[in-house]
Structure 1
Amino acid sequence: MALTSYISDQIWLCTYPIRLAGTKFEARMTTIRLASGLVMLHSPCHITASIAEEISAIGSVGHIVVPGNFHHLHASSAQIAFPGASTWICPGIERKRPDLKYDGILGDVAPADWAGEIDQVLVQGTRLMREVAMYHRASQTLILVDLIENFTDATPNTGGALKLWFKYVLRMWGKPGPAPEYRMGWNDRNSLAMSLRRILAWDFRKIVLSHGDLIDQDAHGVAAAAWSKILGFDDLSAREA
């Protein structure tokens, strides 16, 4: 594992392996340097000594963000590596991980520590999944974990079982869309659609996501199409919205 620059002097990424229900694929940590010089770790990977050294070269870690209820496994290792950082969690993590100490629960309003730099929306309306979407204004980058997954033939380090599942069962191979757990857990589509419309109001040009290929072309159209069934329009009108 190693950090790679995504937006010069602002955003770095690190992919790491995941095994889940017999499948293997990768997840992605996003590292952001704020205007204050402090660093935010978004959906942290397991923090090894070498990764900690790379991160520390960027700046002092001030914030550890646990943005979704399926993205908490390595938060503790980040806290151990950077004990002076504040930890912010998605609602529900406090029940799922009562052992995890935290400083604040994320919602629709950004904390003062990054208000004006990063906007956020708490995505509601699902039983199984919760997520706080973030928008990095300076680079016009939308940062997600599970609201969009984007597995294709070009995606590295994906096992055959995952390809079989996504290509022939879910029909999501090469078609960006919400994680399967979202589809299984919609219970209030109106609330979910309201959250997604707030995200689509942002002027993002790129999407960093946890699983699959980054989206650097027609990002706004891709997101609208990925969420079209929830929003109630077809793919064509989504891309024209």
Structure 2
Amino acid sequence: MAGFRPYAPLNVPKPFGENIWIVDGPEIRMDYGPASIPFPTRMTLVRLGDGRLWVHSPVAPEAALFDAVDELGEVAWLVAPNSLHYWFVADWQQRYPQAKTAAVPGLAEKAKRTFRIDAVLDGAGAPWPREEIDTVLVPGTAVSEAVFFHHASRAAILTDLIENFEPQRVVNPVYRWLVRLSGAAHPDGTAPIDLRLTFWPKRRAVRAVVAAILAWPCERVVMAHGLPYASDGAAELRRALRWAR
């Protein structure tokens, strides 16, 4: 049984601004202790200035999706944006062997599935033009996450630092209660409490990076789980990241 009512259509690039698309993928299940918890998936596509594509948090491979991506441009970059969102990068590398892959620090050692890493997103810079996609690293203990700002669309691109599940889309009432309890429920979605706690030991560094994120002239916010924000992005970032300020 599905855990969520999906943001249909799935595996279809949907415009989210100038030269940016979101793709809602199939539901996955994530091991959490002895339990297995369902999660919806989403990736983000950006067309760079040279016409090639930057792919954030690739979703499960699917032939029609690959065809749709190919219509948008050549894939240049695959991005594993945090310590949890990397599983399908290997499949996309197989489909796009010419693409380079960027990942957060330590993922080569932590990942439970092997894939090639060409660049590490350590916060000191990024391998793509900063004037197109600004890149910062929010350093954690169990999880670190790279956060991006696409200037053309004025969109902040996050993964799990904001989760914004709409309760009416959560099928199981127990899981709906857990989503609310964790703090990840719309209209006040943020990082779930267990994830926030993993950043606490590095809170000074996290606070400095979050200040840089809040300085972006943001209009839109997209994340891997839940309802994205098509407007009022700067205000939503201030609200959702208040725990780190």
- TM-score normalised per structure 1: 0.87
Counterpart among 176, 181, 188 of residue 163 in structure 1: 176
Matching of residues 31-180 of structure 1 within 5 Å: 31-97=45-111, 99-124=114-139, 126-154=140-168, 156=169, 159-167=172-180, 169-174=181-186, 175-180=188-193
Query: What is the Cα deviation at residue 13 of structure 1?
Result: 1.3
Instruction: Note if contact 1:24-1:158 (Cα within 8 Å) is conserved in structure 2.
Output: no
Query: What is the Cα deviation at residue 37 of structure 1?
Result: 0.8
* CA separation of 1:61 and 1:172: change in aligned 2, threshold 3 A: closer
Letter in 2 for 1:41: V
Query: What is the Cα deviation at residue 26 of structure 1?
Result: 0.7
Structure-2 separation of matches of 1:172 and 1:2: 24
**SS of aligned partner of 1:62:** strand
Structure-1 separation of matches of 2:231 and 2:51: 29
Instruction: Note if contact 1:109-1:119 (Cα within 8 Å) is conserved in structure 2.
Output: no
Query: What is the Cα deviation at residue 69 of structure 1?
Result: 0.6
Query: What is the Cα deviation at residue 40 of structure 1?
Result: 1.0
Query: What is the Cα deviation at residue 73 of structure 1?
Result: 0.7
Structure-2 separation of matches of 1:11 and 1:87: 19
**SS of aligned partner of 2:42:** strand
Alignment-derived partner of residue 239 in structure 1: none
Structure-2 separation of matches of 1:178 and 1:123: 13
**SS of aligned partner of 1:188:** helix
Instruction: Note if contact 1:26-1:158 (Cα within 8 Å) is conserved in structure 2.
Output: no
**SS of aligned partner of 1:19:** strand
Structure-1 separation of matches of 2:234 and 2:46: 21
- Aligned identity (percent) is 26
* CA separation of 1:172 and 1:83: change in aligned 2, threshold 3 A: closer
Query: What is the Cα deviation at residue 198 of structure 1?
Result: 0.7
Query: 2:232 aligned with 1:218, yes or no?
Result: yes
Which string of whole-angstrom CA distances, capped at 9 and with x for unpartnered residues, describes residues 54-79 of structure 1? 11111111111111111011110110
Unpaired runs of 5+ in structure 2? Answer: 1-9
Matching of residues 230-241 of structure 1 within 5 Å: 230-231=244-245
Alignment-derived partner of residue 196 in structure 1: 210
Alignment-derived partner of residue 11 in structure 2: 2
Unpaired runs of 5+ in structure 1? Answer: 232-241
Deviating above 6 A after TM superposition, structure 1's stretches of 4 or more consecutive aligned residues are: none
Structure-2 separation of matches of 1:182 and 1:32: 27
Query: What RMSD over aligned residues (CA atoms) do the two structures have, in Å?
Result: 1.9
Alignment-derived partner of residue 28 in structure 2: 18
- TM-score normalised per structure 2: 0.86
**SS of aligned partner of 2:38:** strand
